[in-house]
Chains A and B, each alone.
Chain A
Amino acid sequence: MEDEIELKTAPADFRFPTTNQTRHCFTRYIEFHRCTTAKGEDSSDCERFAKYYRALCPGEWVDKWNEQRETGTFPGPL
């Protein structure tokens, strides 16, 4: 028997009330990585942020940013 699929996703963030959610996705991604830097790679507190950025950001963008982080060229305050 499969579990019921949970219908949960990134909630609306009042810092980004408008149609353009580009900054929202970027901010969640940065929040996740700052959280892992502060609390450790496998901290479960950071899982929340991971779910948020994965829901909002296209896979291609996440892959590109991961690559940039590895090469040290990520354009954000990690």
Chain B
Amino acid sequence: MIVLKWLFLTISPCDAAEPWQLGFQDAATPIMQGIIDLHHDIFFFLILILVFVLWILVRALWHFHYKENAIPQRIVHGTTIEILWTIFPSLILMFIAIPSFALLYSMDEVVVDPAITIKAIGHQWYWTYEYSDYNSSDEQSLTFDSYMIPEEDLELGQLRLLEVDNRVVVPAKTHLRIIVTSADVLHSWAVPSLGVKCDAVPGRLNQISILVQREGVYYGQCSEICGTNHAFMPIVVEAVSRKDYGSWVSNQLIPQTGEA
């Protein structure tokens, strides 16, 4: 019974899609936290405006009933009110723009010294990850493919359409540079918890900077239509401590043929 109580009262972060989910997944990067905060700021004004507009609408419909007011007014102009209902929305938009631009420009800040570069290469229909910082020649020393685990091979507790055989292991609390590209058609590398969505364009290298603030496993899915199995090439990022990352890399590098 104590175990049951503990199970139900444990807080577990939402880093994957939940059935009937309404809100965002929990943030694991400063970018995502910024997006969630901006959403809360805008939502406040949104509710004010919604309530006001609905009130005016309902009131107008109510008072326009032939029994309530048989002779309607025929006002055509009203300079003061027209000025007011232009100025007030502009002010509201300014209040929304300030946190919005702050977030937008801070997302563009260049991280001068990322610790690691990871390449995410989209294929039909899987991702390849290259960790080339440890290459001693042009041979890739750490590269692997990441395929979705099909439904019939899932174990109890695993997530349908989200689990992969090889996860992207990254160190937490470290600046990462992810370079996203494609080997065939357009794909998109998206992980909602990390606040990341970046198109994979063949012939182009798109760079994103991430700082994962807590250890955990984060799920995402390909976000650009790429053929019949577009829905079946998910992304799983596993953030571990720096020490565990070091051990993982060392273990992957031992077979020098290059395959994980």
Interface size class of B (residues with CB under 8 A): 35 or more
Residue A38 lies at the interface, judged by CB distance under 8 Å to chain B: no
The residue of chain B having its C-beta at the shortest distance from the C-beta of A4 within the complex is B246
Q: Which residues of chain A from 4 to 53 have any CB-CB distance to chain B below 8 Å in the complex?
A: 4-5, 7-12, 14, 17, 19-22, 24-25, 51
Contact, CB under 8 Å: B138 / A54: yes
The B232-254 residues at the A interface (CB cut-off 8 A) are 242, 245-246, 249-250
B interface SS class: mixed
Q: Is the CB of A25 within 8 A of B177?
A: no
A8's partner among B111, B132, B133 (CB-CB below 8 A) is: B133
- Please state if A66 and B246 are interface contacts (CB–CB under 8 Å): no
Q: Measured between alpha carbons, how far is A58 from B121 in the docked complex, in Å? A: 8
CB distance from B177 to the nearest CB of A (A): 7
Contact of A7 among B140, B171, B250 (CB under 8 A): B171
User: Which residues of chain B are near A54, meaning CB under 8 Å?
Assistant: 132-133, 135, 138
Interface residues of B (CB under 8 A from A): 110-117, 119, 121, 130, 132-135, 138, 140, 143, 171, 174, 177, 179, 181, 183, 203-208, 242, 245-246, 249-250
User: What are 16 residue pairs bridging A and B, where the CB atoms are less than 8 Å apart in the complex?
Assistant: A5-B249, A8-B115, A9-B116, A12-B110, A12-B112, A12-B113, A21-B179, A21-B206, A25-B205, A51-B135, A54-B135, A55-B132, A56-B117, A58-B205, A59-B140, A66-B138
